[in-house]
Chain A
Amino acid sequence: MDYGTILQILDSAVRLMTPLLLACLAGLYSERAGVFDIGLEGKMLMAAFSAAATAAVTGSVWLGLMAGVLAAVGMSLIHGLAAITFRGNQLISGVAINFLASGLTVLLGQSWFALGGRTPLLEGAARFGSITLPGAEAARAIPVLGPFYAEVVSGHTALVYVAALVVPGTWWLLYRTRFGLRLRAVGENPASVDTAGVSVPRLRWAAVAICGVLTGLAGAYLATGLSAGFVKEMTAGRGYIALAALIFANWRPWRALGATFLFGLMEAVANRYPELDLGPVTIPSMVMSALPYLLTVIILAGFIGRATPPRAGGEPYVKER
């Protein structure tokens, strides 16, 4: 494998990582606040559809982005209502949200565009264009690092860079601010927050809303950055992989970057080498695509590392002395 191929695979991995990373961080906020969210997939799907539909109609990718974020936040609202306000079962609510998105996107898409649940192809300003970072072309001359900068770092769409910034941002917010302290506390022991005179529902609502915004970005990227329009079920399990990455990352932002990059890389490698030939063994593509799920199970089983989810996760908070 030559350097150019490696760069190309890394470049592809960065693109494929981005929706996973955004969704994973979305889940991180929600679950760190004690609201489990297996509805990432649905929110992303809904966002992808809304973003593509709006961009197709208005011709503006930015309006599309806003619509995508709004749609995902709307789905988050349903989840918040179930999980926070009515103290329902968060897992069931997540399952319902995934189905809702899966059905609604096609239903609405078919009724608006009559393209079998697809949106029209996005062109020009209706899509995110790639951004060439300053000096990318000039840097190519520098050996090793130059091409890396030009190929892997430069030339992505805006949301890729946004996602990359969300990682340190999340870390800073979580560990360096009052909001982060309270957010982490409410996921571990909501009673501690409540008795300290801070509203548990308000914190959880904030987390769920942030989760909505980030899944919105993830979905919008999928439909208007990574591809040029919405096709049904286009998330293709990425929400679940993001969930897997979240577990893999042990609910920490920097590790989320690592985990999603790993999963993005696996996808990129599988794309490039459907039958990965490792000398003595050939790994079929099914194994490659199943690997994130398999890894998650292994992590959960505690054979590598140990997943320690937020302690109050999944439990509706009921005041108790």
Chain B
Amino acid sequence: EPALVFDLGGKFDKSFNEAAYNGAERWKAETGGTYKELEMQSEAQREQALRRLAESGLNPIVTTGFAFGEVLNKVAPDYPETRFVIIDTVVDQPNVQSNVYAEPEGSYLAGVLAGMASKTGTVGFIGGMDIPLIHKFRCGYAEGFKSVRPDGKVITNFTGTTPAAWNDPVKGGELARAQKAQGADVIYAAAGGTGIGVLQAAADEGILSIGVDSNQNHLHPGKVLTSMVKRVDNSVYEAFKAGEAVEPGIKLMDLKADGVGLAMDDNNAPLITPEMTAAVEQAKARIIAGEIVPHDYMSDNSCPAD
């Protein structure tokens, strides 16, 4: 029986954790299997949770979020029989599969779309916790945006520097209003649960927003430009499907592997012009072809679009 551990923020964050949940549910619906799930309440619980799951013979154990990295590094060797899967960071252990996503690629596409949708030429980015991982989103987004609006401006804010930043919709909303006041008319929220506040405020203020991780277009139909989805659901689904035979090592989920992408559906269809679709498709093709390489912020902690 597999297990899935959600990070702080909880499985119904409409975002990252919920994507993982959807993957598990898809597996459950298809196979009729059951799985164990657990939500983190605090930083200090992670180790106990992992150990308890491993102790009770669950296998594989999927953990969502880079914050499990350090703990998993410590726990995995104690349970060599158990396979672990971690999402969003790399843990170098023989029984761990690390799923990492090409956030810059997906974000680049989001940036292209934002650039075309923006009337003011100013767009916003609201990140959750101020960490290199989120700068990856920001940097790709900025690059994509600049590719269509070279003179445009990207306003950036982060909600905080601690995990609480993932779960502060009030602050997210205030930041969105502040960005609107500064002229932004499309705001990309890479902020977990905080993003809900961003999307809400954007809808209230009559500007566009871009969701993240899960498809969030339905939250405010016609007001969310698109969502940069990370197919966390696929990672979870495949891990569950592989079961105890899940492959250790690094698994790169990029555009080519359909690991990241933009969500297009009925909810945002009225917002998307054929030109936009064409531009996005073209950028996507060039990225896959390697003609465009969106910069990975974490490779050198800098962003050429700044």
Contacts and interface: CB of A to CB of B under 8 A. Distances in A.
A124 to B, nearest CB: 11
A93 interface: no
Interface in A108-148: 114-118, 121, 130
A111 B12 CA distance: 14
B158 interface: yes
Contact of B11 (A15, A116, A226, A232): A116
A222 B10 contact: no
A274 B174 contact: no
B200 A121 contact: yes
Interface centre among A11, A114, A231 (most CB of B within 10 A): A231
Contacts of A115: 10, 12
Contact of B12 (A118, A222, A227): A118
B10 A116 contact: yes
A286 B165 CA distance: 12
Contacts of A229: 169, 196
A222 B170 CA distance: 8
B173 interface: yes
Interface string A148-159: 000000000000
A61 interface: no
A268 B157 CA distance: 13
B178 A121 contact: no
Contact of A228 (B130, B171, B200): B200
Interface in B150-182: 157-158, 160-161, 164, 167-171, 173-175, 177-178, 181-182
Contact of A117 (B10, B175, B177, B204): B10
A153 to B, nearest CB: 16
A231 B169 contact: yes
A232 B9 CA distance: 9
B13 A116 contact: yes
B92 interface: no
Interface in A3-19: 4-5, 8-9, 11-12, 15-16
Contacts of B177: 8, 11-12
A232 B204 CA distance: 23
Contacts of B169: 227-229, 231, 234
A227 B167 contact: no
Q: Which of B170, B196, B200 has the most CB of A within 10 A?
A: B170
Nearest to A233: B167
A236 interface: yes
Interface residues of A, number: 30
Interface residues on B, range: 20 to 34
Contacts of B178: 8-9, 12, 271-272
Contacts, number: 65
Interface string A269-289: 001101000000000011000
Contact of B170 (A11, A121, A227, A286): A227
Nearest to A19: B170
Contact of A274 (B13, B158, B168, B219): B158
A117 B196 CA distance: 15
B162 to A, nearest CB: 9
B214 to A, nearest CB: 14
Given A12-B177, A121-B196, A116 B12 contact: yes
A116 B15 CA distance: 13
A15 B204 CA distance: 15
B197 interface: yes
B39 interface: yes
B193 interface: yes
Nearest to A226: B170
A234 B170 contact: yes
B157 A274 contact: yes
A274 B182 CA distance: 16
B219 A121 contact: yes
Contacts of A15: 174
A273 to B, nearest CB: 9
A116 B39 contact: yes
B10 A12 contact: no
Contacts of A231: 167, 169, 193
Given A8-B178, A116-B11, A116-B13, A226 B193 contact: no
Contacts of A272: 178
Most chain A CB within a 10 A radius of its CB, from B39, B161, B169, B175: B169
Given A8-B178, A130-B204, 5 more contacts: A16-B174, A115-B10, A121-B196, A229-B196, A231-B167
8 contacts: A8-B177, A15-B174, A121-B219, A226-B173, A227-B200, A234-B169, A236-B164, A268-B174
Q: Which 6 A-B pairs have the closest CB atoms?
A: A116-B10, A8-B181, A115-B12, A116-B12, A271-B174, A228-B200
